[in-house]
Amino acid sequence: MFSPQWFLVDQPRARYTAGALAYFSQGIPMGLLHIALPAWLVSEGMSAGGVAAFLAIITLPWAFKLITGPLMDHWEFLPMGKHRPWVLGAQLGMVFSLLALTLLDDPLGQLGLLTAICFAINSFTATQDVAVDGMEIDFVPLTEEGHLTGFMSFGKAVGTALAAAGTGTLLVMYGIGVTGVVCAVAATLILALLVLVRERAGEKFLPWSAGEASPLDEPPLSWRKVLSEINLVLWARASLIIMGIMFFDGLTGGYGRALMSIAAINLFGYTTPQWSDLNAVMNLVGAVLALGLGPLIDRHGAKRMLFATTALLAVHAFLLAYTQQLWTNDGYVLAMMAAWVVLQPVTMVCALAIAMSIVSHAASATQFAIYMSVSNLGAAIGSAAYGYFAARTNWSQNYALMGALVFVLLLAILMFKTHDHPEVLLEAK
Number of H helices, E strands in the chain: 16, 2
Dihedral in degrees, nearest 10, Cα atoms 170, 172, 175, 179 = 20
Residue 134, domain member (yes or no): yes
d(CA 39, CA 33): 10
Q: Is residue 1 part of a domain?
A: no
Task: Tell me which residue range forms the domain holding 193.
Answer: 6-212+220-428
For 168, phi then psi, to 5°, come to -60, -40
pTM of the model: 0.78
Q: What residues pair up with 7 in beta bridges, in sequence order?
A: 198
> What type of residue sits at position 79?
P
Question: What's the domain count of the chain?
Answer: 1
Q: What is the pLDDT of residues 94-110, one digit of tens each?
A: 999 999 999 998 888 89
pLDDT tens figures, 417-426: 755 544 444 4
pLDDT for 268: 93
Per-residue model confidence (pLDDT) at position 118: 96
DSSP string, 118-183: HHHHHHHHHHHHHHHHHHHHHH--GGGHHHHHHHHHHHHHHHHHHHHHHHHHHHHHH-HHHHHHHH
Sign of CA dihedral 83, 86, 92, 97: negative
Spatial CB neighbours of 116, under 8 Å, sequence gap ≥ 6? none
Residues 183 and 36 sit within 8 Å (Cβ to Cβ)? no
Q: Percentage of residues in the chain with pLDDT exceeding 70?
A: 79
Phi and psi at 198, nearest 5°, equal: -125, 155
Residue 51's domain is classified under what CATH number? 1.20.1250.20
Q: Which among 164, 184, 196 is positioned nearest to 27, based on CA atoms?
A: 164
DSSP assignment of 92-106: HHHHHHHHGGGG-S-
What is the reported pLDDT for 32? 95
Q: Is the pLDDT of residue 214 over 90?
A: no
Average pLDDT, the chain: 83
Q: How many residues does the chain have?
A: 429
Q: Which range scores top for mean pLDDT: 66-75, 81-90, 224-233, 333-342?
A: 333-342
Q: Does 27 map to a domain?
A: yes
**Amino acid letter at 161?**
A
Q: Please tell me the predicted confidence (pLDDT) of residue 19.
A: 82
Q: pLDDT value at position 402? A: 95
In a domain, 396, yes or no: yes
Residue 263 belongs to some domain of the structure: yes
